[in-house]
Structure 1
Amino acid sequence: MSAKQPVTMGDIARLANVSKPTVSRALSDSPLVNEETKEHVRAIARKHGYAVNRNAQKLRHKRTNTIAVSLDYQSLRRNHVADPFIFELLAGVSEVLGEENQDLLLCAPSHNNIETFQHMLASRGADGFIFLGQGHREDMLEALAKYGAPMIVWGASSEDTPYCVVGSDNFLGGVLAGQYLLQHQRKNFLFVGDTTFKEIYGRRNGLQKAIDESNQTVEVKDLALNNFSYESVFEQANIFLDNNKTYPDAIFAFNDNAAMAFIHALRLRGVSIPEDVSIVGYNDIAPTRYFNPPISTVRQDPYQAGKLLVKKLMEKLDGNTPESEVIKTELIVRET
């Protein structure tokens, strides 16, 4: 073979002493070819620099081996993804998709309506969808599910949710946070978060459950947020503290960013953490371990979540009906 001529599948078949269909199956990891033959064909392909044309391969199969992933941009101001946990979750999904030999297509912020997702399916732009966050787009998700789109959602489910959901036990997370704060004899609670989001609503209800079962006299205030970025929470924390003569002695924040922002605002006022105020965040993002002081938080495992999201979507694409599932939720006790 001339060095100027590209190596073809026929060349690999001749060198491996197998048929072209066998080469194709071996390079696509087909179960119809035994492992010894697969490795023999792969070794020859590597030696001669032969690479599979994945675009051509996709056209020959019913699936594109592409999964579209959509973030909840609509809930974010100016498409600012403020919570690092979403990137950890995206990384988990990406890693597992790679293990499944699937391509990841990250949807643009404008791709957040049912027509766009229907078009992606009809044009074979993607085999199915993973939605990272429900936010305020539940009506669209329900309509897309009823359309028959293969999809899995990271979020919170209820009995009438018409699509498969993977998420943590937000209610239990709230209970654990509440019990921890009550153990420290706290009486003046503040919950930070927008309870119009189903996941955050579950955390607030869990907190209330812990308080109700304690039979202790506890006051609870709520601080709703219109923006989830650190800067915005810090600004709203300052406004709240300026307008309240008595500071809370317990704060349960809907995520770790919000917990950090409140610690910053309290410290500027000479408040000691945790001597004066106990704080619990949510998600256990990496900075919580190295923050000063390290933050107690409710943990969700992003890799386990990503693995389940991909696994259940693959089941859906194979014609099965996967059930919603809750991943482990645990309280990580540190110094706040």
Structure 2
Amino acid sequence: MADIARIANVSKPTVSRVLSGSPLVTQATRDHVLEVARAHGYAVNRNAQKLRQTRTDTISVVLDFGSHRGGRIADPFIFELLAGVAEALAVRKLDLLLSPPAAQDERAYQDQVNARVVDGFIFLGQGERDPMLRDLAKLGVPFVVWGAVDPTEPYCAVGSDNRLGGRLAGEYFLRSGRKDWLFIGDTNHAEIAMRHDGLSEATHGKSASIRVLRTGDMSYTSTLNDTAAYLATHPAPDAVFAFSDTAAMAVIAAFKEQGLRAPEDFALVGYNNIPPAAAFTPAITTVEQETHIAGAILVEKLMQKIEGGRAASTVLPTRLIVRET
């Protein structure tokens, strides 16, 4: 800064204000100082600059790799959600640090905040780490979660009404005259367990039964293999509720191998309403989560936490999109 100030014939504090984006300097002075800096090869060292500030202006987004085989995530839903978060952070001029969930200990996340690596965390998916998230909340670390919204949880979560989604699927099966249902998904995940609970609510007082197929993980391949193995040893159901649209596509493929097609032989409902679901053959009936607003809400809730405020959990609008299956 001293060199730039000398060359530009301004004071060092003026250079500091220009480089920090202060409104206390005129646009002409700002342009002059920045032109001198660029002409002489100077650039702001953002990491060094952050050490002088109270915040890092960096948010860590933590994906749920544990729910996918070999740490591979291929579900378009996750990337739609990630894109929404990235866009919302960009509007606030905040950096996104994409982090693998290597830390299973809540203290490791606290250390990242204390060491001023990041200002807070957005967890995309609870998976099976709810106990860790509960402990992290007790430490006062700023974070929000995309996942199941439960009033008993001590942390802020944003997600769809999973129970309602399950109930809507069940009511659709009943209207279609289906009585032998198969629920596909790992109920160790809070979101998926709520969807199963909602599906069960729809059977109350009705002559319908539910079987459960727990998949090895949330990948297309695992769902395809598990469904095919199930159909080889069990009678085919007349309705299937899959934990995601990607899983629903795997279900269609597995049933097709047995000569069964939707909707002639079975009704099918997926979850998430990813764009390929509408273009798939047959087009998949699904439960929609409004992911286009989820990213902005997650970022807004996290900033409330970072600024010392309270952030309440939010349930997004949830509705059934009826298509061919």
TM-score (norm 2): 0.90
2:242 aligned with 1:253, yes or no? yes
3-state SS of paired residue (1:273): coil
Identify the residue that residue 219 of structure 1 maps to in structure 2. Answer: 209
3-state SS of paired residue (1:145): helix
Comparing 69-78 with 100-109, which one deviates more in the overlay?
69-78
3-state SS of paired residue (1:251): strand
1: CA distance, partners of 2:56 / 2:19: 16
2: CA distance, partners of 1:300 / 1:25: 40
| Cα distance change of structure 1 residues 234 and 62 upon mapping to structure 2, 3 Å threshold | same
Identify the residue that residue 176 of structure 2 maps to in structure 1. Answer: 184
Comparing 106-115 with 41-50, which one deviates more in the overlay?
41-50
2: CA distance, partners of 1:39 / 1:242: 75
Residue 150 of structure 1: which of 134, 142, 149 is its match? Answer: 142
Correspondence list, 1:95-110, <5 A: 95-110=87-102
Correspondence list, 1:110-259, <5 A: 110-212=102-204, 215-245=205-235, 247-259=236-248
Amino acid in structure 2 at the alignment position of 1:333: V
Amino acid in structure 1 at the alignment position of 2:231: L
Contact 2:149 2:314 (C-alpha < 8 Å) held by counterparts: no
Q: How far is 1:152 from its partner?
A: 0.7
Among all aligned residue pairs of Structure 1 and Structure 2, give the percentage whose two residues are the same amino acid.
Answer: 46
Q: How far is 1:332 from its partner?
A: 1.4
| Cα distance change of structure 1 residues 314 and 239 upon mapping to structure 2, 3 Å threshold | same
Q: What does the per-residue CA deviation read over 1:74-109, in whole Å, with 9 as the maximum and x for residues that have no partner? A: 333321224321122112111111111111111134
| Cα distance change of structure 1 residues 21 and 129 upon mapping to structure 2, 3 Å threshold | same
Q: What does the per-residue CA deviation read over 1:36-85, in whole Å, with 9 as the maximum and x for residues that have no partner? A: x4598369747974754322321221101111111122333321224321
| Cα distance change of structure 1 residues 270 and 321 upon mapping to structure 2, 3 Å threshold | same
Q: How far is 1:112 from its partner?
A: 3.2
The number of residues matched between the two structures is 321
Contact 2:180 2:237 (C-alpha < 8 Å) held by counterparts: yes
2: CA distance, partners of 1:264 / 1:39: 64
Report the RMSD for the aligned CA atoms in angstroms.
Answer: 2.6
After TM superposition, the runs of 4+ consecutive aligned structure 1 residues lying more than 6 A away are none
Structure 2: runs of 5 or more not aligned: none
Contact 1:114 1:140 (C-alpha < 8 Å) held by counterparts: yes
Residue 288 of structure 1: which of 263, 277, 296 is its match? Answer: 277
Residue 318 of structure 1: which of 301, 307, 315 is its match? Answer: 307
Identify the residue that residue 57 of structure 1 maps to in structure 2. Answer: 49
1: CA distance, partners of 2:2 / 2:83: 35
| Cα distance change of structure 1 residues 319 and 249 upon mapping to structure 2, 3 Å threshold | same
| Cα distance change of structure 1 residues 263 and 7 upon mapping to structure 2, 3 Å threshold | farther
Comparing 53-62 with 182-191, which one deviates more in the overlay?
53-62
Contact 2:243 2:271 (C-alpha < 8 Å) held by counterparts: yes
| Cα distance change of structure 1 residues 184 and 142 upon mapping to structure 2, 3 Å threshold | same
Q: What does the per-residue CA deviation read over 1:174-230, in whole Å, with 9 as the maximum and x for residues that have no partner? A: 111111222111111111111111101111111112222xx4311211111122211
2: CA distance, partners of 1:100 / 1:38: 22
Amino acid in structure 1 at the alignment position of 2:117: G
1: CA distance, partners of 2:33 / 2:125: 44
Contact 1:79 1:109 (C-alpha < 8 Å) held by counterparts: no
Q: What does the per-residue CA deviation read over 1:251-301, in whole Å, with 9 as the maximum and x for residues that have no partner? A: 110111211111111112221211221100001122212111111111112
Q: What does the per-residue CA deviation read over 1:300-319, in whole Å, with 9 as the maximum and x for residues that have no partner? A: 12231111111111111111
3-state SS of paired residue (1:222): strand
2: CA distance, partners of 1:192 / 1:78: 21
Contact 1:169 1:327 (C-alpha < 8 Å) held by counterparts: yes
3-state SS of paired residue (2:294): helix
1: CA distance, partners of 2:104 / 2:74: 18
Amino acid in structure 2 at the alignment position of 1:84: P
2: CA distance, partners of 1:196 / 1:75: 11
Identify the residue that residue 294 of structure 2 maps to in structure 1. Answer: 305
2: CA distance, partners of 1:46 / 1:291: 53
| Cα distance change of structure 1 residues 119 and 48 upon mapping to structure 2, 3 Å threshold | closer
Contact 2:63 2:124 (C-alpha < 8 Å) held by counterparts: yes
Amino acid in structure 2 at the alignment position of 1:295: I
Amino acid in structure 1 at the alignment position of 2:210: V
TM-score (norm 1): 0.87
Contact 1:153 1:164 (C-alpha < 8 Å) held by counterparts: yes
